[in-house]
Amino acid sequence: MHKLPNTMDIHKYIECIHMFNRIHTKFFQLISLEISAHGNKNIPYIIPVLIYELGLSGEKTTVNTLLNNPRVSYPNINYSLNKLENMGLIISEGHPEDQRVRLISLSKKGKVVFEHIKENVKRYLDNLTYDLDSMHDMLGKMDKSYRN
């Protein structure tokens, strides 16, 4: 018979997820502040996330592809993409086969910002490697126990 974890384990698990989410959000907020320091004011959290996702793809992508990412939500995406375009960080063009679809890619300026974000993400993840391994193990055990 499947044994449910005790209440303390569940609270600790939820607390761990919340802490990780807060740290992750704070990290991208700090990157937003760095982008703001280069003359771009009022950068929402989603902006560096979009730049990072577009940079990782390395090619033209659609809004729907970005929306498949759990870190990107629809209400923010059009506003954020327009802001990125106004900042000169992305290029947005109509799809040659379907003008209802926008193709989005990083501009040269956007690629420079992406490299900066990528360096910070790498440094951030390098500092978390041990903790991520522990968290991954813990979450893997919990996932496995719920599957049985």
Tell me, yes or no, whether 48 lies in a domain: yes
Distance between alpha carbon 115 and the CA centroid of its chain, in Å? 15
Segments forming the whole domain that contains residue 40:
19-141
What's the confidence (pLDDT) of residue 58? 85
Question: What angle (nearest 5°) sits at the alpha carbon of residue 140, between those of residues 137 and 144?
Answer: 140
Contact of 27 with 117, CB cutoff 8 Å: no
Tell me, yes or no, whether 49 lies in a domain: yes
- In this structure, which amino acid lies at residue 120? N
Tell me, yes or no, whether 146 lies in a domain: no
pTM: 0.65
Q: Angle formed by the axes of helices 7-37 and 108-147, to 10°?
A: 180
Quick: pLDDT tens for 127-137: 666 666 777 77
What's the confidence (pLDDT) of residue 1? 46
The helices-and-strands tally (H runs, E runs) of the chain is 5, 3
With a CB cutoff of 8 Å and minimum separation 6, the contacts of 19 are none
Tell me, yes or no, whether 107 lies in a domain: yes
Give the Cα separation of 135 and 137 in Å (integer).
5
> The domain that contains 110 carries what CATH number?
1.10.10.10
Tell me, yes or no, whether 78 lies in a domain: yes
Quick: pLDDT tens for 96-116: 898 888 899 999 988 988 888
Count up the domains in the chain and report the number.
1
